[in-house]
A and B are shown apart, each in its own frame.
Chain A
Amino acid sequence: MRVATLMSVLLLFAVTVYGAATPAVEKLLPVKGDVKGFAPMANSLTYGKGDDVSKVYDGGYELYTSHGVVDVARQMYQRDKNYIEVTVHTMKSAKAALDFVKYWAKERGGKLRTTKRYLGFTVTKPNMMGYYAMGKYFVTVSAYYPTAKSAKDVEAFAQAIWKKSR
């Protein structure tokens, strides 16, 4: 009985420590089961804060930090030969997130649309990709398989992230 209690305490401690150590932005990334059929790929998680945003954007990172990106988490997901990459950015404010989506809409030629959940747009070239502002988070979802199949999946990922961001 004592052993079981001790194990429970240790488990609770480990979960608490993990929770505290995991950046909030990383917790928004979908986990297995959030989007049917997709699971995170091993070794594909990247996190960067401040200048370490360059871990994701290499030399282009200053574009992101200058637009208000505080930190970023990226993960690739797989369902058979279908791959989707999710990138979630914490912005310095909700306005910064909105402005950054507008910036990208202009750059990528996307048509902005507002839903009850988020402001965003999708483009289909060179691959299916969605850009979204969800509160203080700026989110991109990229699919690397044909648009006909991937459009729904991109939307499903966006919704899964939105649920976690509330």
Chain B
Amino acid sequence: MGEKTTRREFLKQMALAGAALTVLPGVAEAAEAAAKGSSKSRVVIATDTAVFSQGTTVNKAVLGKMLGNSMAKLTDSKTGAQAWEKLFTPNDVVGIKVNCLFGVGVSTRPEVVRAVIDGLKMAGVDENNIIVWDRSTSDLIKAGFSPNSGKGVKVFADDDHWGPEIQRGAFKGKISTVINDRVTAIINMPVLKSHGLTGVSCCMKNHFGSFNNPGKHHGNACTPAMADFNSIPMVKDKTRLVVVDALRPQHSSGPGLQNNDQFNYHSLIVSADPVAADYHGTGIIQSELAKAGKQTIPDSKLIWLQAAQERGVGTCDPSKIEVLKA
């Protein structure tokens, strides 16, 4: 994986990230503990084959249990409800970033988002203060979400109404108003799939729907632009949780849908560290490629992981990641 960040540097980065959360007493400690878990970034995997019934229809009860158990494990809580209370408060306005670009089958499932919304409600977050968003309304519709800017959970897109232009390193673009103006916390909810340019699309790539000009940032495996965007303080510091839909990932030919390259994995990946979650997700894709007798993704396409680590977004050093099963 190339040059590694030293433990001291890593802890310093995590401390800085934690400091930015001190506006929410109690949440900072929980988020930091969740992210570090004995000085390591914790990644929790919940797997249950019963999550699919009749093909790929999601069993909501099983899914809810998987998420609750994952959250409890992530935060060392006795119950899922307690875990949600550790990470979110009734004062939060929470943005849930989904990945819907290629429609049903290769986008974040609405059922998984619904389970997360149920969790936020356990923490006392008002459903009027929950925003499910992506770059365009068309994409949300394609993935099975119903646009709503009225009462209840909001489901809407930036479309062509972007926030201010931000430049950070190789990134230069207009950021989502949801991130800039509206939310106190972000839950990054990608779907795990392959990607032609970056090898894998997961948490960090999901934010290519959070600014106006993704087409301008795809060069060199999206590096360092993708890491730069994810390191923007308001993005990094507001990201309190990632929940990866890994129920049925796609190992090749992404990011568009290719039925033959999908495989049932029946899992959710939950973490507070998007880089650690991406690193683990990459391992899942690589393993499945090997099983399928296909060429695995070369390191040259995965350079964004190291770039993100170097910018303090999280860690891709396996010795600093604690993987737990829920």
Q: Which A residues lie at the B interface, using CB under 8 A?
A: 41-44, 46, 48, 51-52, 54-55, 57-63, 74, 76, 81, 83, 85, 107-109, 125-127, 142, 144
Q: List residues of chain A with CB within 8 A of the CB of B102.
A: 58, 60
Query: Contacts A59-B197, A107-B258 hold; do A76 and B103 have CB atoms under 8 A apart?
Result: no
**Closest chain B residue, CB of each to CB of A51:** B215
Contact A126–B218 (Cβ < 8 Å): no
Q: Is B256 on the interface with A (CB-CB < 8 A)?
A: yes
Contact A85 B255 (CB under 8 A): no
Q: Is the CB of A58 within 8 A of B105?
A: no
Contact with A along B12-25 (1 / 0, CB 8 A): 00000000000000
A61 to B137, CA, bound (A): 21
Q: Of A58, A62, A108, which one neighbours B259 at CB under 8 angstroms?
A: A108
A119 to B188, CA, bound (A): 41
Given contacts A43-B159, A54-B215, A107-B258, contact A59 B198 (CB under 8 A): yes
B129 at the interface (CB under 8 A from A): no
Which residue of A42, A52, A126 is within 8 Å of B105 (Cβ)? A126
The one of A41, A108, A109 in contact with B138, judged by C-beta atoms closer than 8 angstroms, is: A41
Residue among B137, B146, B215, B259 with the highest chain A CB neighbour number at 10 A: B215
Report the bound CA distance from A85 to B100 in whole Å: 14
Closest 6 CB pairs of A and B: A76-B138, A43-B159, A126-B105, A54-B215, A126-B104, A59-B197
Q: Which of B102, B159, B196, B260 has the most CB of A within 10 A?
A: B196
**What is the CA–CA distance of A81 and B145 in the complex, to the nearest angstrom?**
12
Using A48-B215, A81-B146 as known contacts, list a sample of 12 further A-B pairs with CB atoms less than 8 Å apart, ordered by residue number in A.
Answer: A41-B138, A58-B255, A59-B205, A60-B102, A60-B195, A60-B254, A60-B256, A85-B142, A126-B105, A127-B103, A144-B103, A144-B142
A63-B137 contact in complex given A43-B159, A126-B103, A127-B104, C-beta closer than 8 Å? no
- Proximity string of chain B (93-121) to chain A, C-beta cutoff 8 Å, 1 when within and 0 when not: 00000000111110000000000000000
Taking a contact as CB atoms closer than 8 A, the residue among B138, B160, B201 that contacts A85 in the complex is: B138
In angstroms, Cα B253 to Cα A59, docked, is 10
The complex places the Cα of A19 from the Cα of B146 at a distance, in Å, of 35
**Inter-chain contact A44/B215, CB cutoff 8 Å:** no
B260 surroundings in chain A (CB, below 8 A): 107
Shortest CB distance A157–B (Å): 15
User: In the complex, what distance in Å separates the CA atom of A59 from the CA atom of B208?
Assistant: 10
The verdict on B136 contacting chain A, using a C-beta distance below 8 Å, is: yes
The count of residues in chain B whose C-beta lies closer than 8 Å to any C-beta of chain A is 33
- With A52-B215, A59-B201: A142-B142 Cβ-Cβ less than 8 Å: yes
- The answer to whether A43 and B141 touch (CB under 8 A), given A57-B256, A126-B257, A142-B103, is no
Q: Is B214 an interface residue (CB 8 A)?
A: yes
Expressed in whole angstroms, the Cα–Cα distance for A109 and B173 within the complex equals 39
- Judge whether B137 and A43 touch: CB under 8 Å: yes
Q: How far is the CA of A48 from the CA of B214 in the complex (A)?
A: 12
- Is B136 a contact of A44 with CB atoms below 8 Å? yes
In the complex, what's the smallest C-beta–C-beta distance from B61 to chain A, in angstroms? 23
Q: Is the CB of B136 within 8 A of A43?
A: yes
B141, B198, B215, B256: the one within 8 Å of A83 (CB): B141
Shortest Cβ distance from B197 into A: residue: A59
Q: Which residues of A contact B196 (CB under 8 A)?
A: 59-63
Q: Nearest Cβ distance between residue A137 and chain B, in whole angstroms?
A: 19
> Cβ of A59 and Cβ of B218 under 8 Å apart?
yes
Q: Smallest distance from the beta carbon of A78 to chain B beta carbons, Å?
A: 9
